[in-house]
Chain A
Amino acid sequence: MAQEPTHIRFLDRRVVQQWLVIGTFSLAPLALLITFTYLPFVKMIEFSFYKMRYLGPRVYIGLKNYQDVFTREDTVSALLNSFYYMGAGVIQLALSLYFATILSYKVRFANFFKATLFFPFLVNGIAMGFIFRFFYTRGMVFDSLLSLVGFAKENLPFWLRDRAINNYSIAATSIWRYMGQSMVLFIGAIQSVSPEFYEAAEIDGATRLQQFRYIIFPMLKPIITLNVMLMVKGSFSAFEGPYVITNGMNATATFVVMMHQLAHEAGKVGLASAMAIVLLFIILIGTILQHFIYNRLFGEKTRSII
């Protein structure tokens, strides 16, 4: 048999074959990822240094957009609105931990309750916005419920009209929506704990509270980290609730609602891009900081999920 040419021999090698196959098969997903995620992202960074609209000429203005993000009254107050959602997030985590713990023990109709509590997470965010718009409308669902338990209708506030409370009203909807999601994550983690631990604890005479304190809680640390991170990210990028319920009017605009308004209604694409970059950094810093504090608080290095 004649000697084959060198390039064929090269292609015949196992390693080369392997890489050839890996390379060709990842070509399509990589191309998609780069075209639709990384390229637009790089473009967005570029846009953030320009004064521009979608059409028309662009003017390079350096860091002016970033300066504006931190000095404009509306963007700063929109950023501060995130804290309403963070507060709601803390309540949401506490509640979901509570329900997860209860539902992990033998409870009648446990699956029914799990499904009921998880259901809101399956509702589309836009539909949820419309539901709560009616819920909070004067004299509608919420007012009727409250008057059933004895509140006088005249004394009830306007849940969305009153600036003192409208942000609480909207942030509360996110508790309803996301509690089920974090609860399911918690239940999963609790169920992965070997039942022998509980049996041993019960034989030793530990109460339910002690079981929670010394078995469940330590086992949940990594999943709590994950949930807190999701919550912080969610609070800064809250959009659907305020966008659908109030359209961001009456001082309820969150950072992303503001971004949308500036980009698509005022046509300030550069400024909105800068806001997006700032948001990315805030979430990054928040995640790192939270990780750091968490390790400090709980001493030993916990196995991190992320």
Chain B
Amino acid sequence: MKKRSMTLVLCLLMIISMTLSAGGKAEQSGPVDLDNLPTVDKNVSMTLTFLTHKQGWDEEFADYNRRFNQIYPNVKIEFEPIGDYKDNIEIRWSSKNWGDLCMIPHRFLPQTQLPSLFASIGKVEDWEDTWEFTSAFAVDGEMYGVSSTGTAYGVLYNKAVLEQAGVTSFPKSIPEFMDMLRKVKTRTNAIPLYVNYGAGSRLADWEWNARGTLTADPDYKNKLVYMQDPFAAGKPYNTVMKLMYDIVKEGLVEEDPSTSTWDSAKNLLAQGKLACTVIGSWATFDTQSAADDPNDIVFAAFPWNIDGKQYATIAADYAYGINKNIAPDRYVVARDFVIWLTEESNFSYDSGGIPIKKGQEYPATLSELQRAGVTLVLDNPSLPQDIGLFDEINSESELYMDLYPQKARIVEAAMGQSNESFDAIMADWNKRWTAAQIDVIGADYAAKDPYK
């Protein structure tokens, strides 16, 4: 009798505990009602959790806390740095109470998914005159994230090496650029350009220049969706890819691209054994720190000009986002903190990127770009009816836009490892893109072009 009841009790306990643990916790407060926000007393006492990708920033974070306390004396922002941020943050987001604030990586979530996770911080129209990149994380005119800083695309070069080769100013056109590389090769011991094929993602950096830099058109990426043969000779993508092909073909790159890494490129550039590399401006800060004379390392726009004027494609970096499931009073403080971070904190300056508040001073890494009068071009978000089309065509065509595999194919052809000609690759790109356009939009895709 005793034994039997023991067994029964044991079974029951196990089943109960399993159902309980599967049930989960009680719900927190629902989505924030933006129209009826409470007024929060500045002396309110609370602790907000901020998930961030910035590691080793304890000093800066302590400084932000101290300065924010001048407005809200009893609010503490608990920064929680997470390693391998992009891999881990999605897991955190899957629960509703992951924290109060976090960093949202750019082009990480489909734009349409932002409102399901984050609360709107404000309307684009209210902020676009004072802040940069207001549309980067916006859906239907509401900002669900505020970019923390921005990255420009272009060329990072060593001024001392160029002077040694007899080049006094960084070229502003492709023939001049090729000429510069050849001079570096013949007149110095430095490698003219690091293509960084082995690092994969560095090849993808070339592509950014094909958009804003070559066209000055913030809608160029959106237009690609409807464009006929966008990779034909003379079109921006073709021009940029052809330059990459020619440079590799002429042997103006590192000896063994298949094993090159960004770290080796950084050190060679800092030591003056490499003249330049095509990359994002984020790389400037690291390279300057590794160089004897930081002033030698300069970030310039891609060698291109439109009637003498230069442009550079820029991309928004990680954005600040607020959990839409937190209590209204917490939201109010969190929102004030985001605005403070953007306008007062120097976050973008500390990370060596483009400042978000218009008119703020550029960090030393980018000041050259500002001095040269380069206009920065940010891709516009796609029209509401076009959201997701680019990604779909990209996936269907397998051209790996913003990624490296198809660019690797060009480098392989240029290295003589495959028998493809450059024109054949571009013809194949056009063929695949067209087939994907027909598949996703329909045979009359060109007629539907809203940008005509």
A146 at interface by CB-CB < 8 Å: no
**A24 vs B10: C-alpha distance when bound (angstroms):** 9
Interface pair B14/A27, CB less than 8 Å apart: yes
Pairwise interchain contact A21-B405, C-beta atoms closer than 8 A: no
B33 at the interface (CB under 8 A from A): no
Residues of A within 8 A of B404 (CB): 247, 249
**Chain B residues numbered 1-18 whose CB sits less than 8 Å from any CB in chain A:** 4, 7-8, 10-11, 14-15, 18
Bound CA span A24–B11, Å: 6
In contact, A160 and B258 (Cβ under 8 angstroms):
yes
Given the known inter-chain contacts A249-B405, A250-B412, A267-B395, please indicate yes or no for A161 contacting B7, CB distance below 8 A.
no
Contact call A53/B412, Cβ cutoff below 8 A: no
| Distance A147 CA – B418 CA, assembled complex (angstroms) | 29
User: Do A266 and B395 touch (CB < 8 A)?
Assistant: yes
Interface mask (B378-420 → A, CB under 8 Å = 1, otherwise 0): 0000000000100110110010100111001000100101100
Alpha-carbon distance A21/B14, docked complex (angstroms)? 11
A76 at the interface (CB under 8 A from B): no
Residues of A within 8 A of B200 (CB): 247, 249
Q: Are B256 and A268 neighbours in the complex by a CB distance under 8 Å? A: no
**A249: B residues at CB distance < 8 A:** 197, 200, 258, 404-405, 408, 412
Interface hits, A1-55 → B, CB 8 Å? 8, 11-12, 17, 20-21, 24, 27-28, 53, 55
Minimum CB distance partner of A248 in chain B: B405
Enumerate chain B residues within 8 angstroms of A138, measured Cβ to Cβ.
255-256, 259
Segment 255-277 of A: residues with Cβ below 8 Å from B: 261-262, 265-268
Tell me if A162 is interfacial: C-beta within 8 Å of chain B: yes
The answer, yes or no, to whether B359 is at the interface (CB within 8 Å) is no
State which size class the interface on A falls in: 20 to 34
- Whether A158 contacts B405 by the Cβ 8 Å rule is no
For B405, the chain A residues whose CB sits under 8 A away are 249, 261, 265
Does any Cβ of A come within 8 Å of B56's Cβ?
Answer: no
Considering the complex, which residues of chain A in the window 51-71 have a beta carbon less than 8 Å from any beta carbon of chain B?
A: 53, 55-56
Cα of A161 to Cα of B418 in the assembled complex, Å? 11
Residues in chain B near residue A266, CB distance under 8 A = 395, 398, 400
B418 touches A163 (CB 8 A): yes
Check B258–A53 contact: CB distance below 8 A.
no
Check if A136 sits within 8 Å of B259, measured CB to CB: yes
Which of B15, B398, B408 contacts A250 (CB under 8 A)?
B408
Q: Which residue of A lies closest to B1 (CB)?
A: A12
Within the complex, which residue of A20, A137, A267 is in contact with B256, where a contact is CB–CB below 8 Å? Answer: A137
Determine how close the nearest CB of chain B comes to the CB of A269; give it in whole angstroms.
Answer: 10
How far, in Å, is A261 (CB) from chain B's closest CB? 7
In this assembly, does A133 line the interface, its C-beta being within 8 Å of a C-beta of chain B?
A: yes
Q: Which residues of B contact A265 (CB under 8 A)?
A: 400, 403, 405
B257 at the interface (CB under 8 A from A): yes
Q: Is A96 an interface residue (CB 8 A)?
A: no
| Docked-complex contact B4 and A12, CB < 8 angstroms | yes
Look across to chain A and name the residue whose beta carbon is closest to the beta carbon of B10. Answer: A24
Find out whether the CB atom of B418 lies under 8 angstroms from the CB atom of A160.
no
Residues of A within 8 A of B398 (CB): 262, 266, 268
| B 178-199 to A, binary, CB cutoff 8 A, 1 in contact else 0 | 0000000000000000000110
CB-based nearest B residue for A132: B259
B24 within 8 A of A: no
Nearest 7 pairs between A and B by C-beta? A138-B256, A267-B395, A137-B259, A161-B258, A160-B258, A249-B408, A163-B417
Residues of A within 8 A of B (CB): 8, 11-12, 17, 20-21, 24, 27-28, 53, 55-56, 133-134, 136-138, 158, 160-163, 166, 246-247, 249-251, 261-262, 265-268
Known: A160-B259, A247-B404, A250-B408. 14 other contacts (CB 8 A): A24-B11, A27-B14, A56-B388, A138-B259, A161-B258, A163-B412, A163-B417, A246-B198, A246-B258, A247-B408, A250-B258, A265-B400, A267-B391, A267-B394
